[in-house]
Amino acid sequence: MRSDNAPPEQRRGGWRLAGFAGLMAITAAGAAHAAARHKPANAAPAASSLHARALAALPAARAAFDKEMIDYPSARFQEVHGRIVKSVYASDDGQSDKVPWTHRGGPILVLCGEVNGKNHMGGYTGWTPFAFEPAQTDMVTLYGYENPTRLPHQVNAASEASLRIVDEDGHDEEEVRDLCTGEPIEADTSDLSGGLQPKGGRQ
């Protein structure tokens, strides 16, 4: 505490510092109040990283379905969710005495769900499971017989998007089951079915 016997210059300096500190405190409080006043009461929470990645993958997924299906505009989707899982790759070009024939790699994003599309006769075939993997990075070590090298070499096994739809003969059933029904590293509970619906198609 400053003594009243202090010289006038010191007393005036102390008052100036105290006044400046008080002004800063008032300014900070006013800014916080203004920020709180302008923040919407029902502001939505920020999207999770997984949910954001799943949304970003939807355009590539629509393109893949459009290429794969007979009548994509009439397709129906349900229970579409994003998942982070360990990748699963089976290779014919491997040496089973050195590495497992089926490779389980790093965490990848996959969109899992069910699609109901039309056949050549125009009738719906029923709900079918699918798994879509957007292009991403999943480095795996391969032991190949083919050029450029027979030595172990690393490749990005997920450099291109991949769509697997289980057909009536059960093709891709095992891969889709491994990707979509096993315990995920992370799962997004949001249903993204509407995001796969083609423009102008059935909502």
Q: Are 196 and 61 within 8 A, CB to CB? A: yes
- For the chain of 203 residues, list the mean pLDDT of each consecutive stretch of 10: 49 42 44 48 61 96 96 96 84 48 75 95 94 91 60 79 90 90 94 86 43
Q: Are 56 and 184 within 8 A, CB to CB? A: no
Q: Which pLDDT belongs to residue 150? A: 60
DSSP H or E run through 105: strand 102-116
Token pair listed for 11: 């007393």
Q: Which pLDDT belongs to residue 167? A: 86
Q: Are 113 and 128 within 8 A, CB to CB? A: no
- The CA distance from 109 to 185, in Å, is 10
Residue type, 62: R
Q: What global pTM score does this model have? A: 0.68
Q: Which pLDDT belongs to residue 11? A: 44
- Non-local (6+) Cβ contacts of 18 within 8 A are none
Question: Where exactly are the structural domains of the chain?
Answer: 1-40, 49-196
Q: Which pLDDT belongs to residue 97? A: 46
Q: Which pLDDT belongs to residue 47? A: 56
